[in-house]
Structure 1
Amino acid sequence: MLFKGKNKTTKAVILLTAIFLSIEFLDELVDGVRGAAWPLIRNDLHLSYVQVGMLLTIPNTISSLIEPILGILGDIGQRRALILSGGVVFAIALQLISFSHNFPLLLTAFVLFYPASGSFVSLSQATLMDIEPTRHEQNMARWALAGSFGNVVGPLALGSAIALHQTWRSVFLVLSVLTVLTLGMLWKSSIAIQKTFSHDEPTCSFIDGIRNAIAALKRPEVLRWLTLLEFSNLMLDVLGGFLALYFVDVVGSPNTLATFAVSVWLGVGLLGDFFLIPLLERVRGLDYLKFSAIVVLCLYPVFLVVPNINIKLVILGFLGLFNSGWYSILQGQLYTAMSRQSGTVMTLSNLFGLVGGLMPLVLGLVAQQYGLHWTMWLLLIAPVALLIGLLGL
């Protein structure tokens, strides 16, 4: 629990919620800018495809080894220090990205950025869940909305900077400044936070924290939500990653239309995240999850077989609308199943993410062998897995 006794006040809840949602918005804003800036970064630094692959792989691998440790430390009394120090390194890494003029410096910046994001952002999410233990789904919906908004604004921010004759470096420098300002808000509230952070009081040793994580991993309900989160991602990030290629290589659309399709996917998904917040006040999250899985199971095959591009785009919008709550609800259920171990959620999610991270590679190999058209049908595993996993709930 984040708050203790009488210190749990409405003012503190609102303050901390606003700060943590700002952190998630900032993180996804960075991600949106970085994704859109890759062609500019590659050309400016004269990067090869191998170097781009290294920039995407090496930092993520290193972070996957560090973040499970950070999650356990966050549960045994180091939460506040980890969030604040992670924010400092987050800002430094963004500055290094801005100042990078060669591959080694950019790689160093990325190696710093990935685990810093885990410490700064993932532990902020865990702490947000601890603020109101009975409203995990609702607060995860707010978290997802903040992130979706940041991800949509990111490319627009970069485009605006280019229109004003600025460079990608300027945008990353501004993002570093925004991080410092966000840290300032967090630091300014440190007195109130110190009074509310029970996680800053040592509760057990690191070895005990590892034992607790292993014990949690043996619980069927924890395994259920971790597994469903990875399967659901097939119809979330994985579909989003293949979407432009599908429209160009399978549908035969020009690049501009493929880009528009991705915009439809992101834009309607943002709208879905917005409507999910009031919806969860009226409908049980698991009931909506089952309903949306059925809708997606029916719509996705139609999306793949219908020849008309305009109808495809309409169906794609509905897919983005109905699957927008999947991550929020499943992650909220995982936090509920792991009450008082919110930091360890980060640990177990990273461990499962190592396996789930292989899914795009497997799908890529299937696409290379049998074609992208047939590979896209495999994404139907997501709604099927959800419906099977939610039986009886």
Structure 2
Amino acid sequence: MLFVRTSLRNLSLFVVALYGVELLDELIYGLHGAALPYLRDEFTLTYTQIGLLTTLPGLLGLGFDPVIGLLGDTRHRRALVVGGITVTLLGLLTMGAASAYGWVLWASCALFVASGAYVNLSQATLIDRDPARAEQTMARWTLLGSIGVTAAPLLLTLVFSSAWRSAYFLAALIAALFLAALIRQRFDRHNGAHDEPAAPRVLLRQLLSALRQRTLLKWLLLTELADLMLDKLLEVTGLYFRDVVGVSLAGASAAVAVSTIAGLIGGVVIVPVLERMPGLRLLRLSALIVLIAYVTMLIAPGVGLKYALIALVSFATAGWYAILRAKCFEALPGQSGTMIAVTSLANLSSLFVPVLIGGVADAAGLEVAMWILALGPVALIIGLR
């Protein structure tokens, strides 16, 4: 009986730690965004240098993430997760102690690449533990991420004020706690967990086989298109309200805050809803609501109405990523690492979306470019028939 109680306690710690990884990752992401003004002032950074803090890590991730995903379907998953958290801990300490821009850039690259190991593979491990409840698992995962990214700027503003380095040291302490919680856990629910290390050509063959899975490609395409109403819309919300609607800078920031808070509330609501409603049914219903609300927002004249509609869009899309990501995992049962590898390749297409929107906005105006984002709900309505 004592052994059973100990096993259950360890199991609970394992699951909590895996979920907490997403909270930590988004806390770091939100902290980095909130700390940028402090970094710029302290190191006298140019906009090009600031942009490089995102661009260079992203390019490195394109090379590392597929390899990490494929290795995640081998016996090396635990080593990748533990190694990723260790590098994250070192990256956070480096960021907090940085004395020059070069150290900040190195830490940014280390944090981004490391997250591809410990975050993605922690998510995959949660899915492998209970594949039948992938949607519910992803809903909880997404909610914790929303809490993390929302809490970061509040933490920096209310607790540490201008002491941005202390915030990074606190994040490093949290990373150390997760490292201690996961370092002795077993990651053995996936295919290949007990096999001998596979040759590179075998892993490549596995990746190519996954790329031929039509069901997986369908869900990947829908996930990428749905993101037009998720991250891509959030990225231009402030600009839209400032340049098209004509509100003040404070009003534009308020629009982003309204969208973020509405999405967080939606994330809270979606967890119990998915216990009662099939995910695909929810997607179909919400896609129609979002299309109507978004088009109305673009053509409605009232500023107050636009604020209400951007909140409705963000609230209604709260479950999209969770459901679509779960469907991707379901398309490759037991091969969650390979699915992550394929997803990382598919993410390459999303790098060109901001350029496309920017090009159309320069040529015809942002109010015209915003219509491109409507392809998100349209794709779901058509693809889920």
Would the aligned equivalents of 1:96 and 1:106 in 2 still touch at CA under 8 Å?
A: yes
TM-score, reference length from structure 2: 0.95
In the alignment, does 2:249 pair up with 1:249? no
Say whether the 8 Å CA contact 2:13–2:181 is kept in structure 1: no
Structure 2 CA distance, aligned partners of 1:131 and 1:10? 14
**1:229 shift after superposition:** 0.8
Decide which moves more: 10-19 or 136-145. 10-19
1:130-169 matched pairs, under 5 angstroms: 130-163=128-161, 166-169=162-165
Shift of 1:378: 1.0
Q: 1:205 to 1:374 in 2, by over 3 A?
A: same
Alignment gaps of 5+ in structure 2: none
**Is 1:355–2:353 an aligned residue pair?**
no
3-state SS, counterpart of residue 186 of structure 2? helix
Contact persistence 1:93–1:112 (CA under 8 A): yes
Counterpart-to-counterpart distance in 1, 2:332 and 2:286: 25
Show the counterpart of 2:186. 193
- Contact 2:30-2:153 at 8 Å conserved across structures: yes
The answer to whether the 8 Å contact 1:71/1:345 transfers is yes
Within a 5 Å distance, the mapping from 1:47-126 to structure 2 comes to 47-126=45-124
Whether contact under 8 Å (1:73, 1:206) holds in the other structure is no
Matched, 1:264 2:258: yes
Name the SS for the 1:357 alignment partner.
helix
Aligned ranges 1:226-241 → 2 under 5 Å: 226-241=220-235
Per the TM alignment, residue 377 of structure 1 is displaced from its structure 2 partner at its CA by: 1.1
Equivalent position of 1:371 in the other structure = 365
- Once the two structures are superposed, the pairs formed by residues 176-191 of structure 1 within 5 Å of their partners are 176-187=172-183, 190=184
Question: Could you report, residue by residue, the CA deviation over 1:154-202 in whole angstroms, capped at 9, with x for unpaired residues?
Answer: 1100102344xx4111111111111011111223xx2x52676775423
Deviation at 1:17? 2.2
Unpaired segments of 5 or more residues in structure 1?
1-5
Select which of 321, 325, 329 maps to 2:323.
329
- 1:72-127 superposed Cα distances (whole Å, 9 cap, x missing partner): 00102210000001000011011111122222111111121111011011111111
Query: Which whole-Å CA distance do the structure 2 matches of 1:130 and 1:195 have between them?
Result: 9
| SS class of match (2:99) | coil
Counterpart of 2:374? 380
Structure 1 residues 194 and 359: CA distance shift in structure 2, 3 A: closer
2:195 match: secondary structure: coil
TM-score (norm 1): 0.93
Which residue type is aligned with residue 148 of structure 1? S
% identity of equivalent residues = 36
1:313 and 2:307 are equivalent in the alignment: yes
- Output the CA distance in 2 between the equivalents of 1:11 and 1:172: 30
Aligned: 1:170 with 2:163:
no
Q: Which residue of 2 aligns with 1:31?
A: 29
Correspondence for 1:340 among 334, 337, 355: 334
Q: Kindly state the Cα deviation for residue 11 of structure 1 after the two structures are TM-superposed.
A: 5.3
What's 1:3 paired with?
Answer: none
In 1, Cα distance between the equivalents of 2:122 and 2:58?
A: 19
How far apart are the structure 2 equivalents of 1:336 and 1:348?
14
How many angstroms apart in 1 are the aligned matches of 2:175 and 2:262? 28
> 2:138 touches 2:322 (CA, 8 Å); kept in 1?
yes
| Number of residues of Structure 1 aligned to a counterpart in Structure 2 | 379
Change (3 A) 1:328 1:60: same
Report the CA distance between 1:14 and its aligned residue.
Answer: 3.3
What's the offset of the Cα at 1:16?
A: 2.5
With over 3 angstroms needed to count, the CA separation of the structure-2 counterparts of 1:81 and 1:367, relative to structure 1, is same
Q: Distance in 2 between matches of 1:264 and 1:367?
A: 24
Secondary structure at 2:277 match in 1: coil
